[in-house]
Structure 1
Amino acid sequence: MTEPVVKSRCLPAYMVIDTSYSMKSQEQLLNDTVDHVFEQLSSRPMVSEFAHISIITFNSDAHVVLEMTDIDQVQHLPTISCQGGTSYGKAFQLVRQRIDVDVTQLHAAGRAVLRPAVFILTDGAPTDSNWAADFATLTDQGFRRRPHIIAYGFGAANPAVLGKIATKAAFVAKDTENEKEAIVSMLTSLLNTLVTSASAQEFRIPEQADGYERVPIEFVD
């Protein structure tokens, strides 16, 4: 008898970063910290084998900065620049589109694909009025590939809105004025989450993030 093929598990993870003009003063720090996270992930073979990562930025529009890829194949990260407004809807639309593309490709590569994980970092409230409809499309129960969403907010981010755009956990920075610490802590939390998830071979939700406090979420999948 032919032995059944055991597919290795894979977690598609999306870093969805607010790059509106209000983030301009932290642009270099944002780039440096994202670079550091990738260096740390690539040095952990278990994580680089388990997690595939894509970076999506959003301001007045949304952009794929890094297509879904093996962490250890990333040679150089594109530079992130900040400008424009804060369109949550554009971000949700693009994530929805990319999930279908990326999950299909990972399946075709012979991987057992876990439900995607989305990590959102924002420092402000949405500037578009119809974002809730796009969020509903992304998280619709009929969408089998709907992602787990963890939201991190600082600065002018509205805790009530963070609770609406998260499906698993939402965090707001305790010190809203310390943007540097908030960015580093969020990306460190993402790093730790992927390391823990890789060890467990399943998505593990962070219980806390340094410098942040949890806020109630309104949507649970």
Structure 2
Amino acid sequence: MNPETQDGLERAFPFYVVCDVSQSMWKEGVYKPAPAAEGTSGRTPYDALREAVPDLLWKLEVDTTTSEAAHISIVTFAQDAQTFLPLTRPEEVQDLGELPKGAQTDFAKVFAHLATIIQADCAALEREYALKRPAVFFLTDGDPYVGSARQPDDRWLPERDRLAQLPYEPQIVAFGFGNIRPATLLRMATTTTLRDGTTRSLAFTAEEGTPVSTLVEGLIGTLFVTIGASVSGNGLDVRVPEGMRWLTAS
């Protein structure tokens, strides 16, 4: 595919992969472990992320069609949020280092962080590129939890709404597994219009029966397919990961 648009500008399609690194993701014994080699204790969801995220970036780098337009950022969050990988072309990624580990799950902080960096990133990109709508892939295993209680909706939802209402209209895709409630995922995600004209939330939840670390590994693999399909089609084209289902509002 020709990377240039009709006005002669090269396309830029920003993708943000948001990884929950709270305690439940890395503490052994929280979830049934995925099968492991003899003599090992099994893989946690954090282990799956640690292995699969660099693989995702490598696949994006070597896929020439995708790398022409895709810009990728990795954001991690627990009690705080941080930009683990600033937005960049896949071929420019250097050694990532080790994903951080945290304790709690502060949705307000991560949505506020995303709003700040996406505003700045997109403002910079649109000076040189034909900018596509940014896409946020949010991976989490639990409801927001801060201090000794669940974080109230009225604490984090305004930050989520501020992100969704940026002039660049970021699309938020929520992938949930573990103990997160479907209602939370539906509140997190933005909506999309299907080919038949119906509107649907971009929220996905795990089916029962698959070890969470195995599910996370497959989910990251599906992001490669989704990013490639989106770049080729010039708009977000979400693929449902194996072991997950598309949520509908009741």
Superposition TM-score, scaled by structure 1 size: 0.90
Q: Percent identity?
A: 31
Q: Please state if 1:216 is matched with 2:235.
A: no
* Aligned counterpart, 2:236: 203
- State the one-letter code of the partner of 2:141: D
1:156-213 per-residue CA deviation (whole Å, 9 max, x = no partner) reads 111110011011311111026611122012112211111111222222233x221101
Unmatched segments (≥5 aa) in structure 2: 1-5, 27-43, 146-150, 192-201
- State the one-letter code of the partner of 2:131: V
1:66-95 per-residue CA deviation (whole Å, 9 max, x = no partner) reads 000011111212311222100111110011
Q: Judge conservation of contact 1:66–1:78 (CA < 8 Å) in 2.
A: no
- State the one-letter code of the partner of 1:20: S
Q: Please state if 1:151 is matched with 2:174.
A: yes
Residues of 2 paired with 1:82 and 1:177: CA distance?
23
Q: Please state if 1:189 is matched with 2:210.
A: no
Residues of 1 paired with 2:162 and 2:223: CA distance?
24
Q: Judge conservation of contact 1:11–1:203 (CA < 8 Å) in 2.
A: no
Q: Judge conservation of contact 2:25–2:141 (CA < 8 Å) in 1.
A: yes
Larger helix fraction of residues: 1
Q: Which has the larger radius of gyration?
A: 2
Residues of 1 paired with 2:112 and 2:48: CA distance?
27
Residues of 2 paired with 1:138 and 1:27: CA distance?
26
* Aligned counterpart, 1:115: 133
Residues of 2 paired with 1:200 and 1:136: CA distance?
27
Residues of 2 paired with 1:89 and 1:217: CA distance?
23
Quote the RMSD (CA, aligned, Å).
Answer: 1.7
SS across alignment from 1:149: strand
Spell out the pairing of 1:170-189 with structure 2 (5 A cutoff): 170-175=203-208, 178-189=211-222
Tell me the CA shift for residue 217 of structure 1.
5.3
Q: Please state if 1:98 is matched with 2:106.
A: no
Change (3 A) 1:45 1:81: same
Unmatched segments (≥5 aa) in structure 1: none
Residues of 2 paired with 1:43 and 1:136: CA distance?
35
Q: Judge conservation of contact 1:170–1:217 (CA < 8 Å) in 2.
A: no
The alignment covers a number of residue pairs equal to 211
Q: Please state if 1:14 is matched with 2:16.
A: yes
Change (3 A) 1:114 1:217: farther
Residues of 2 paired with 1:36 and 1:51: CA distance?
16
Tell me the CA shift for residue 64 of structure 1.
0.6
* Aligned counterpart, 2:34: none
Tell me the CA shift for residue 62 of structure 1.
0.5
Spell out the pairing of 1:17-28 with structure 2 (5 A cutoff): 17-24=19-26, 25-28=44-47
* Aligned counterpart, 2:67: 48
